[in-house]
């Protein structure tokens, strides 16, 4: 969830001090620094990273949302160190190649939906505000949530709600969606939210009954997990030895992917092969410290930070991309 830290908005950058502190050791080099904010949002993390950089250093900012790109270009228009590109973070390697950046020192990815996206009803992310049922982070790409719900089979809808939304009542919700669309099109956020609320026999206290379903549909529409799976190895490949990658996730599906990647499970030798510890190949990178979460003070000031998890990994000297 990428949020702004400008005083004239209600959007607060999550885990700002912690993120800068965990990346700072990677910025201690005499060479010109190159950093990446892969999910620029409204520029809160980018501004904090720029404060750590010198006059000859550079920061690349990516975002797939054209509205965010416009805001970023306006905010950093006078800073020659900043390079802004509208792109998915899974296109990181492509953008770096175009810039002819052979390697970078630090990369940040703050995952999920930004506060401006949630708070603007027209974007269709919120079950609390009525708007067109869209949910696309880039409104010019792919199909909207309403378009998908109009034709998707019941089994597919159920799978998306169950796997991506972790919704226990995925099947009855999917059946209700199909019954409803036989009578009328499902095109509004509150229309879908009310439909789900009528189906659920109970829900968690303090959580809207449509929370999990909206999460599942949003993740599916934007291919968020596939994007993350593509991004992580590209980011690690782009780092110089000693460079760091920091990722802030907001739900268990994202965090599980990040945790497993940072542990480098796919690079370990099978347990069936009888090798001593000294004979195992060195890991290509290693996690830095423990996962960090927002403090009680931060979650009080910004309730949307309560599920945030920050994980960091450092590329090893012996890793060859």
The strand pairing partners of 107, in sequence order, are 36, 245
**Percentage of the chain with pLDDT > 90?**
72
- Among residues 190, 221, 252, the one where a domain terminates is 221
Same domain, residue pair 23 and 104: yes
Who wins on pLDDT, 184 or 3? 184
Is the pLDDT at 269 greater than 70? The verdict is no
**For residue 132, is it within any domain?**
no
Whether 93 and 20 share a structural domain: yes
Q: How many domains does the chain have?
A: 2
pLDDT, tens only, 272-299: 555 555 555 667 899 999 999 988 888 8
Whether residues 91 and 239 fall in one domain: yes
Domain CATH number, residue 92: 3.40.50.150
Which of residues 196, 221, 246 is at a domain's end?
A: 221
pLDDT at 143 over 90: yes
* pLDDT tier for residue 29 given thresholds of 50, 70 and 90: confident
Question: From the centroid of its chain, how far is CA 23?
Answer: 18
Question: Looking at the structure, do residues 196 and 281 belong to the same domain, yes or no?
Answer: no
Separation in Å, CA 280 to CA 273, 275, 277, 315: 10, 7, 5, 18
93 and 240 inside one domain = yes
- CA separation for the pair 312, 231 (Å, rounded): 14
Question: Which domain, by its residues, includes 81?
Answer: 16-115+224-315
Residue 162 inside a domain? The answer is yes
Q: Are residues 98 and 42 in the same domain?
A: yes
6 domain residue, yes or no? no
Query: What CATH number is associated with residue 146?
Result: 1.10.150.170
8 part of a folded domain = no
- Asked if residues 113 and 90 have their Cβ atoms less than 8 Å apart, the reply is no
Residues 249 and 110 in one domain: yes
Which of 206, 221, 236 is the last residue before a domain boundary?
221
């Amino acid at each position: 969830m990428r949020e702004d830290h400008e005083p004239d908005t209600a959007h607060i950058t999550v885990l700002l001090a912690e993120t800068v502190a965990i990346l700072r050791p990677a910025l201690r080099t005499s060479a010109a620094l190159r950093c990446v904010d892969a999910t620029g949002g409204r520029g809160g993390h980018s501004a904090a990273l720029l404060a750590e950089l010198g006059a000859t250093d550079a920061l690349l900012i990516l975002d797939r949302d054209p509205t965010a790109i416009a805001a970023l270009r306006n905010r950093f228009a006078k800073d020659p160190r900043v390079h802004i590109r509208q792109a998915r973070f899974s296109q990181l390697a492509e953008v770096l190649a175009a810039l002819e950046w052979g390697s970078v020192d630090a990369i940040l990815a703050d995952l999920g939906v930004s506060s401006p996206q949630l708070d603007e009803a027209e974007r269709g992310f919120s079950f609390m505000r009525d708007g067109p049922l869209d949910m696309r982070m880039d409104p010019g790409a792919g199909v909207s949530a309403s378009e998908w719900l109009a034709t998707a089979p019941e089994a597919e809808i159920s799978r998306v709600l169950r796997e991506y939304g972790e919704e226990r009542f995925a099947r009855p919700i999917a059946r209700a969606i199909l019954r409803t669309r036989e009578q009328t099109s499902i095109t509004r956020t509150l229309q879908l939210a009310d439909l789900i609320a009528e189906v659920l026999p109970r829900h968690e206290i303090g959580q809207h009954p449509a929370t999990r379903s909206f999460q599942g549909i949003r993740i599916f529409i934007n291919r968020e997990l596939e994007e993350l799976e593509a991004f992580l190895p590209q980011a690690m490949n782009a780092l110089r030895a000693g460079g760091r990658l920091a990722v802030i996730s907001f739900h268990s599906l994202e965090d599980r992917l990040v945790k497993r990647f940072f542990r480098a499970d796919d690079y370990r030798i099978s347990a069936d092969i009888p090798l001593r510890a000294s004979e195992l190949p060195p890991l290509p990178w290693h996690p830095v410290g423990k996962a960090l979460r927002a403090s009680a003070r931060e979650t009080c000031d910004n309730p949307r930070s309560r599920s945030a998890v920050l994980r960091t990994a450092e590329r090893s000297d012996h890793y060859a991309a």
